[in-house]
Amino acid sequence: MLTIAVAAFSVFYNIFLARKLPLVEAGLLCIHILGFFGIMVTLWVLAPRTPAAEVFTVFHDGGAWGNIGTSAIVGITAGILPLLGAEAAVHMSEELRNASSTLPRSMVATTLFNGALGWAMLITFCSTLGNLADVLGSPTGVPFVAVFYNATQTKSGATAMSVVVVLMTVAANLTTGATAARQLWAFARDEGMPFSNWFSYVHLDLNLPVNSIIMTLIVTVLLSLIAIGSPVALNSVTSLGTNAILSSYICSISCILWRRLANQPLLPSKFALGGWGLPINIISVMFLVMAFIFAFFPPAPIPSPNLINWNILIYGVSVICSLLYYAIRARKRYVGPVEYVRRLD
């Protein structure tokens, strides 16, 4: 019910209050920064301290894999996911001025800024975690809430700190919903989706892809209902997003890398990596392929239906269905934005 409520609020906002989104995002940025330092300083001052040697030199496998290295690599996707958000801005590019110059710089700045803040918060959190087993087994069911309570020793203090996290999550859903709708609309506009005419419809008065926005709510509601029957199935479906995004990165960066290696000309751009472009592309593809593979691994190598990562099955079915749709229908209709660029040239 909470999931549906948050998704419905996001859709309502993106339809009727979309013009206020830049102003709201500016205000949320201030809350984000103030809340970040408010939580960090509170943990520094009030929370119990963990020795630095334990924070930086002690590793936990939990007896799952029997190997610290494998356990760390399998868990690396948890650190990747927070850094994927900068890519979302690309899907709003058609509504921005001078997007070819502004977007790349904002993506780099966002990644560096949030990466640095996230690294600082991670060290702070690990240094004030307390007993790991007690935090994971907390009756709150949410480890970070247990850490907040251990620091403040009051329910009101832990609640206030948790509200900041929840508020920023709900706020992130506003832009995520807008991004998902624009991506669906753009793909439908290029005849790459079933029922493309309906999805690509733009409301004349609102100047928004209302049908695509509503579809994001419908899909969210349907997915949330899976939790009633099987939370494991829902986790597998939602984790599909990580592999989907990683595979899209691999495809796009590999195409650029191939053109660089083959000395093929790239499209003119207002933003370029210069001589760093080739090594960055190579390192990116290598890291993404590794992360893509290990994202399919289960949390523990135990043959149990509750611990098996069904993500690879869902991903495989999705890819096969997409390829079949492309072979049967989309290849005769889909042209893509690159074709539009060539026509403009």
Percent of the chain with pLDDT over 70: 94
Q: Note whether residue 114 is domain-resident.
A: no
Q: Note whether residue 76 is domain-resident.
A: no
Q: Note whether residue 81 is domain-resident.
A: no
Q: Note whether residue 309 is domain-resident.
A: yes
If we measure between CA atoms, which residue out of 176, 18, 183, 193 comes closest to residue 91? 183
Contacts of 215 (CB under 8 A, 6+ apart): 181, 184, 199
**pLDDT tens, position by position, 287-319:** 999 989 888 887 777 767 766 778 888 899 989
Structural domains of the chain, count: 1
Collapse the DSSP code of 208 into the 3-class scheme (helix H, G, I; strand E, B; otherwise coil) and give the result. strand
Of residues 5 and 18, the one with the higher pLDDT is 5
Q: Note whether residue 283 is domain-resident.
A: yes
Q: Note whether residue 322 is domain-resident.
A: yes
**Which of 161-165, 209-213, 243-247, 281-285 is the least confident region?**
243-247
* Inter-residue contact 201 to 211 (CB < 8 Å): yes
Question: Which residues constitute the domain of residue 236?
Answer: 231-345
Q: Is 195 left (phi over 0), alpha (psi -120 to 50) or beta?
A: left
At 189 the pLDDT is 87
Q: How many CA atoms lie within 13 A of 232 on its CB side?
A: 9
At 26 the pLDDT is 84
pTM exceeds 0.85:
no
Give the residue-averaged pLDDT of 266-280: 85
Q: Note whether residue 321 is domain-resident.
A: yes
Total H helices, total E strands in the chain: 15, 0
Q: Note whether residue 332 is domain-resident.
A: yes
At 343 the pLDDT is 55
Query: Mean pLDDT over all residues of the chain?
Result: 85
CA distance 221 to 208: 21
